[in-house]
Chain A
Amino acid sequence: MGWFLLPFDNLLCIVLGISFTVGFSSLLVIVVPAVLGVSIGIRRLYMKSLLKVFEWATVRMERGAKEKNQHLYKPYSNGIIAKELSSLEQEIQELRASGTTLSSEPEFEMADIMYFCRRGVESIVDDEVTKRFSAQELESWNLLTRSNFNARHISLRLSVLWGLGLFIRYGFLLPLRVTLAASGIGLLVVLTTIVGFIPSGWLRTYLSEKIHLMSYRICVRSLTAIITYHNSENKPKNGGICVANHTTPIDVIILANDGCYSMVGQIHGGLIGVVQRAMVKSSPHIWFERSEVKDRHLVAERLSNHVADKTKHPILIFPEGTCINNTSVMMFKKGSFEIGCTVYPVAIKYDPRFGDAFWNSSKFGMVNYLLRMMSSWAIVCSVWYLPPMSREEGEDAVQFANRVKAAIATQGGLVDLLWDGGLKRGKVKNTFKEEQQKLYSKVLVGDQEDQGEDRPQEDEEEELEEGDQNEDRPLEDYTPRPLEDCSLRLQEEEEERGSETPMKDQ
C-alpha cells in the first residue's frame, strides 16, 4: 500500500517546499522594506500590469457582446434619468409662461402641482442619497466576480484568465496578506507594550513613533495598498485635529502610514480591544468607554485637553460618522469643529478599478469585509493634505464644518451633499419640507422686489417662449453628461435652493 503513495509523497513534499520558499521570500521582500521604511516600487509595477489586463478583458467582453448583438450593461454612474437642474422658481415661471395670462401678480395655477409631481417621481426612480450608500458602479471589469455585470459575455479565454486570477488571489495573495497582517498587528501589540515600560520622555516618544509607523507600513503592504500622498507640506501638526472623509475602517491605516496620529474611539472587547489597550501604553490615544460616548461634554473636554498639549500628536477624526461609498461627502457632525483649534482637512479618494474599498456595514460584517479586501487585487488611493483651516470671526461650528467639507469634496472630486450620513438608517426631517413650501409660497405671494420690475418681466416672457420652442427637440436622444459636470451643477442647485440652513443636532 505504501509504494503507490510514495510518488504522491514526493510530489507533496516538492509542492510544499516550493510554496514555502515562495511564501517566505515574498514575506522577506515585503517586510524588510517595511521595517526600514523604504519602497522598492513592486506595488506600482503590479498596478500597471493589472490595468493592462483589465483593459484587455473589457475589450474582449465588448467584442463578445457585439458579436451577439447585445448591449453590454454598463451602469452609468450618473443614474437612470437626466434630471432637470433648474430651481423651483424657474420651473413654475415656465409653467405659467406657457399657460394662460401672465398677470403681474403671480397666483396659484392648477398646473403648479406638476412641478412637485415630477420631482417626486424623479426621486422615486433615482435619488442621490440612496445611491451614495451602495457601492460605486464600474465601467470596466476588474476580474472580480463581485463587480461583474456581464456574466454572459465571457469567452473561454476570459474565464481562464478569471480562474487564474481567482487562484492567484485566494491561493497566493490571501494567505500572504493574512500572515502579513497578523505579524503587523502582533508586532504592534508586543512592541508597544514593551515601550510602555520606558518612563515617558524623549526616548519613549521616539520609539513609539517608529513602532507605530512600522506596523502600519506592514499593514498597508498586507492590503497591497498603493497610496499616493499629495501636498505633504500640509501634513497635520501637533495640537491640531485632522479631519477626513470616511469610506472604510482602512482609512485609519492609510493615514497613519504617513504620520503619527492619536486615534479617537470607543473601546471594544476582543482582539481590537487588546490592540487598543496596547497602543495607549506607549502613546496617548483617546479611547472612551461605551457609557462615556454619549456624554458630549466629556468628549469635548478630553479632546480639548489633548489638543492643548503640544507634545501630543494630532487627533484623527472622521466627522461623517459613518462609511460613505466614496463618491460624495456627507454632512459633517459639528462636535469636532467646536473645539476651536486648527483643523487639517484631508481628502481620501479610492480608485475603484482595483477593488471596492467601501464598507457597506448593513451588508457585510467586519470579518467578511476584511476577507473581501484581502482578496481584491489591490487598494489604490490618493490622499490630499489640504492647507489648515481655522474657524473665522462670526462663523459658527456648523458653517465652519460645511466650509471644511466643501474643501475636501472639491479636492477629492467628490460630490458635496447636504444630507446627513445618518440618513442611511433614519428619516428626513420636516425642515426640508418647509424649505420647499417656503420657496413655493414666495413664488405665489411674490417677493417685494418682483413688484417693481415690470419691464424686465416682459423680456423674461420672450426668453421663456423661445425656451419652450427649443424644448421640442427629441427627448429620447439625450446623452448623459460626464460626472464632473453633474457634481458642479448639483452644488449650484443646492445653493440656489437656499439650503445653507444648517442642520442642528449631532
Chain B
Amino acid sequence: MGSTNSTLSKIPNVEELMQETGFTPAHIVRLYDRFEALDKEKTGHLRPQDFGAINRLAMNPIGDRIIGAFFSPGQETVDFHSFVRILAHFRPADKKRPKDPSMPEPVNSRTSKLKFAFQLYDQDKDGKISRAELLQVLRSMLEMQVTEEQLESIADRTIQEADLDKDDAISFEEFRKSLEKVNIDHKMSIRFLR
C-alpha cells in the first residue's frame, strides 16, 4: 500500500470513475484496498465465491440476490470499476445538485436507488415483479418461520395494494408509487467516512 496518489495511479481511468460515481480519491483508495482484500487469488476480478466468503453477507437472507446484483447478465466476474459503480448507488444523494433534465440521472439519485431495489425483486429483468418473484423473495426472507399459505396471502395482499393497472404484476412505476413516502435516501445509503 502506498499513499493515496500511488494507489490511485494503479487504477486505470480513475478520473472518469470518480466523475461518474462521485467518490472522492480517499474513498476510491479504501474501496480498492477492500477489493484487493476480497480478491484473495489476486486475479483482478471478483467472482461470486469471493463475495460468498463474507460471513455477514452469507447470513443475510437475500445475500445471494445482492451478490447477483454485482454481476451483469452473462458475466462471471466483476472488475473494480463495476464494483465501484454498483457501490455508488449507496452514496447519500447530493442535496445541492441542481435538477438538470439534460444530464443523465446520477447513480445515487432516488430513482437509481429505487431501480436497484426493484432489480432485487425482478430477477428475470422483464420490468415487472410477478407474483412468483414476490413469493421467492418472501420465501428467502422468511423461509421456515411462516407457512406457505401465509406467504401466499402476504403476496396477494401486497400485489392487491400496489398493482394499479390490475395485470397481476408490479411495474417499476407502481413500485415507485407505493414507496413514495419512504425515505429512500436514508434507507439505501451508506455513510462513507472521509
Contact = CB atoms under 8 A, between A and B. Distances in A.
Interface of A: 70-73, 76, 78-82, 91, 94-95, 98-100, 107-130, 134, 149-153, 419, 423, 427-428, 432-438, 440-441, 444-445, 468, 471, 474-476, 478-480
A134 B38 CA distance: 12
B162 A110 contact: yes
A79 B193 contact: yes
A149 B145 contact: no
Instruction: Tell me which of B51, B52, B181, B189 has the highest count of chain A C-beta atoms within 10 A of its own C-beta.
Output: B181
B52 to A, nearest CB: 7
Query: Which of A82, A151, A437 has the most B CB atoms < 10 Å from its CB?
Result: A437
Contacts of B184: 114
Nearest to B2: A151
B103 interface: no
Interface string B170-182: 1000010011011
A115 B157 contact: no
Contacts of A437: 61, 141-145
Interface residues of B, number: 65
Contacts of B37: 130, 134
Contacts of B51: 124
Nearest to B145: A441
- Residue among A125, A130, A150, A151 with max Cβ neighbours from chain B (10 Å): A125
B3 A98 contact: no
B90 A149 contact: no
Contacts of A150: 2-3
Given A121-B87, A478-B191, A107 B157 contact: yes
A118 B142 contact: no
Contacts of B175: 110
Nearest to B86: A121
B30 interface: yes
A432 B59 contact: yes
Contacts of B157: 107-108
B142 A73 contact: no
B121 A99 contact: no
B193 A468 contact: no
Given A70-B5, A98-B181, A98-B183, 16 more contacts: A81-B193, A91-B187, A107-B157, A114-B187, A117-B116, A117-B188, A127-B57, A151-B3, A419-B55, A434-B144, A437-B145, A440-B141, A441-B146, A471-B183, A479-B194, A480-B193
**Most chain A CB atoms below 10 A, which of B6, B37, B61:** B61
Instruction: Please indicate which of the listed interface residues B92, B154, B157, B194 has the most CB atoms of chain A within 10 Å of its own CB.
Output: B194
B182 A433 contact: no
B166 interface: no
Contact of B143 (A94, A117, A434): A434
Chain B interface SS verdict (over half):
helix
B120 interface: yes
A81 B60 contact: no
21 contacts: A94-B187, A107-B157, A108-B154, A111-B179, A116-B62, A118-B190, A119-B60, A120-B57, A121-B87, A121-B90, A127-B54, A127-B56, A150-B3, A151-B6, A427-B52, A427-B58, A433-B60, A437-B142, A437-B143, A440-B145, A444-B146
Contacts of A95: 182, 187
B176 to A, nearest CB: 10
Given A134-B37, A428-B59, A445-B146, A115 B187 contact: yes
A95 B150 CA distance: 22
Interface in B49-100: 51-63, 66, 87, 90, 92, 95
B87 A110 contact: no
A199 B178 CA distance: 86
Contacts of B117: 111, 113-114, 117
B66 A124 contact: yes
Contact of B192 (A80, A128, A149): A80
Nearest to A440: B141
B182 A99 contact: yes
A81 B62 contact: no
B181 A116 contact: no
Nearest to B83: A124
Contact of B60 (A79, A116, A423, A475): A116
B90 to A, nearest CB: 6
B111 interface: no
A434 B142 CA distance: 9
A338 B92 CA distance: 50
B172 to A, nearest CB: 12
Nearest to A112: B141
Contacts of A128: 56
Nearest to B1: A149
A69 to B, nearest CB: 11
A110 B95 CA distance: 25
Interface in B138-176: 138, 141-146, 150, 154, 157-158, 162, 170, 175
Given A149-B2, A437-B145, A113 B137 contact: yes
